[in-house]
Structure 1
Amino acid sequence: MNKPLVAACFSALLLGATAAPATAVSDERPAKAKAVDFAGTVALSNCSGSVVRVADSKPDDPALVMSNGHCLEAGFPAPGEVVLDKPSSRSFTLLDSSGGDAGTVKASKIAYGTMTDTDLSLYELTSTYSEIESEFGIKALELNAAHPEQGKAITVASGYWKKMYKCSIDGFAYRLKEGNWTWKDSVRYTPDCQTIGGTSGSPVIDDATGKVVAVNNTGNESGEECTDNNPCEVDESGKVTVRKGINYAQQTYGIVPCVAPGNKIDLSREGCALPKP
């Protein structure tokens, strides 16, 4: 994993499309995608994250912060473990568009956390989206509801380091195995995204839409096979592939069906496939 920075202090830091042609003639040019910036990203004590919403989230809903399961303050969840609605008073430093500190937001609970099938944590904040926008001028990043696409240009925006890593989606790992944990359908970056310790939990943003398609979480540091900090890819037939220096993220479109009215995580909702306790 792109280790939480506290853990990284004891060892070296880890390595760390064009639009389709229009079908009708028009004098109007398509709207240009907004440049990706740091607005909405956050810094944790040891990782990165972002304030996120789904399309149906309301301004007065309690806001959500997304990061990795391995960034939880209690440590790594065990394989098969799912954390639900656990009280938390964790604080997050909210960044503005230029990467400056806009202020601090605070959690009321861990709404969801796991390292099984994915590497995900979702914190519910004491602030609503409208309160954050009113106080800090910051809007949440929207989670894309569709599976990300190979070849798309992306940005990994680290709130901890206030640094952006730009590359493309190289492909997808059927299974990504690291130590005791296994993740499904992981995003593999092209080599340009050399993420390091502290970038864990960073949103992976589609440059064309500005929406979040994944959450950054790991990379193969030294070329070892399926060990801690050295994930390996396993295909449907069981063949193992090791890609030294290549980094990965976990898709986030699967979160969207699990968000109920009021921004509550409801694992019983139709279409929700996140691991359950």
Structure 2
Amino acid sequence: MKKPLVGALLGLVLAGAGVAPAVAAPATAPAAAPDRATAQAVTVDFAGTVALSNCSGSVVKMPGSQPNDPALVLSNGHCLETGFPAAGQVIVDQPSSRSFTLLNSTGGRAGTVRASKISYATMTDTDISLYQLTSTYAQIESKYGIKALEISADHPVQGTAIKVVSGYWKRIYSCNIDGFVYRMKEGGWTWKDSVRYTSSCNTIGGTSGSPVIDTATGKVVAVNNTGNESGQSCTVNNPCEVDEAGNVTVRQGINYAQQTYWLVGCMGTGNKVDLSRPGCVLPKP
């Protein structure tokens, strides 16, 4: 997991991988997706991103969010102030007073926003945390001049040009979506349909939770969460890829994200997470 080196992580080893890994060189960038090959890129900067005490994040809205809805902050499940959720654990509507440093377009400090609760968080199937704030989108825009980033309702596309925007480090990484991973395993956790970057997104500790932005639309398509640091297989900080046949591949130096369109199908009126909605595929408690 791409957290700052503020403490030792548990060296958990995946149980039951059952297949000897094939060590692969970092993949090269594929051709751009046909429908985006001539798309004009939008400006991507730090506006709307946040710095957590241990990670990065962003103020986000759903396609159906309204100005007077309580705003949301997106980050990783492993960035929670309470520590890593266990495999199989899902957190819903847990009180939180966590504060976030809101950044402007240049990466300067615009102000501070505060959570009222953790709306949703898990490290099962995905690695996501979603905080509800005490402020509405309209209040944040009026006070700070900052608009929320919109989460795309669509599955991202291979070859898409993206930027990974870290509020913690105030750094932007540029690369493409190299492909998607059927299952990715790291320690005791398993994630589905993960996004794999091309090699130029060489994200580091502290970039966890950064929004992954499609440069053609300006929308968030994923949340940055991990990378294989030392070439080990399926251990903490060394995720492995598992295909549908159970074959394991290790790509040292390659980094990954978790898709965010899942959130859109699970969001009800007033930015309320509703896991009972038809089509919602997020894990349930």
Amino acid at match of 1:149: V
In 2: Cα distance, 1:89 partner to 1:267 partner: 23
In 2: Cα distance, 1:8 partner to 1:201 partner: 19
Flag the 1:35–1:113 CA change in 2: closer, same or farther, 3 A. Answer: same
Match of 2:43 in 1: 35
Match of 1:215 in 2: 223
Measure how far apart 1:55 and its partner are: 1.0
Equivalent of 1:134 in 106, 131, 142: 142
Whether contact under 8 Å (2:70, 2:137) holds in the other structure is: yes
Match of 1:81 in 2: 89
Match of 2:266 in 1: 258
In 2: Cα distance, 1:212 partner to 1:275 partner: 21
In 1: Cα distance, 2:113 partner to 2:43 partner: 25
Flag the 1:20–1:199 CA change in 2: closer, same or farther, 3 A. Answer: closer
Bigger shift: residues 156-165 or 30-39: 30-39
In 2: Cα distance, 1:240 partner to 1:9 partner: 23
Count of matched residue positions in the alignment of Structure 1 and Structure 2: 263
In 1: Cα distance, 2:6 partner to 2:262 partner: 29
Flag the 1:4–1:73 CA change in 2: closer, same or farther, 3 A. Answer: farther
Equivalent of 2:131 in 120, 123, 143: 123
Match of 1:107 in 2: 115
The yes-or-no answer on 1:149 pairing with 2:132 is no
In 2: Cα distance, 1:159 partner to 1:8 partner: 23
The yes-or-no answer on 1:3 pairing with 2:30 is no
The yes-or-no answer on 1:233 pairing with 2:241 is yes
Stretches of structure 2 that go unaligned for 5 or more consecutive residues are 11-31
Measure how far apart 1:270 and its partner are: 1.1
Flag the 1:5–1:49 CA change in 2: closer, same or farther, 3 A. Answer: farther
Amino acid at match of 1:123: Y
Match of 2:21 in 1: none
In 1: Cα distance, 2:254 partner to 2:35 partner: 30
Flag the 1:20–1:117 CA change in 2: closer, same or farther, 3 A. Answer: closer
List per-residue Cα deviations over 1:98-125 (Å, max 9, x = no partner): 1111000000000000000000000000
Match of 2:251 in 1: 243
Match of 2:179 in 1: 171
Whether contact under 8 Å (1:5, 1:46) holds in the other structure is: no
Measure how far apart 1:261 and its partner are: 0.4
- The percent identity for this pair of structures is 73
Secondary structure of the residue that 2:265 maps to in structure 1? helix
List per-residue Cα deviations over 1:241-271 (Å, max 9, x = no partner): 0000000000000100111000000000111
CA-atom RMSD in angstroms: 1.8
Match of 1:46 in 2: 54
Match of 1:27 in 2: none
Whether contact under 8 Å (2:33, 2:158) holds in the other structure is: no
Stretches of structure 1 that go unaligned for 5 or more consecutive residues are 11-16, 22-29
In 2: Cα distance, 1:183 partner to 1:40 partner: 27
List per-residue Cα deviations over 1:158-196 (Å, max 9, x = no partner): 000000000000001100000100000000000000000
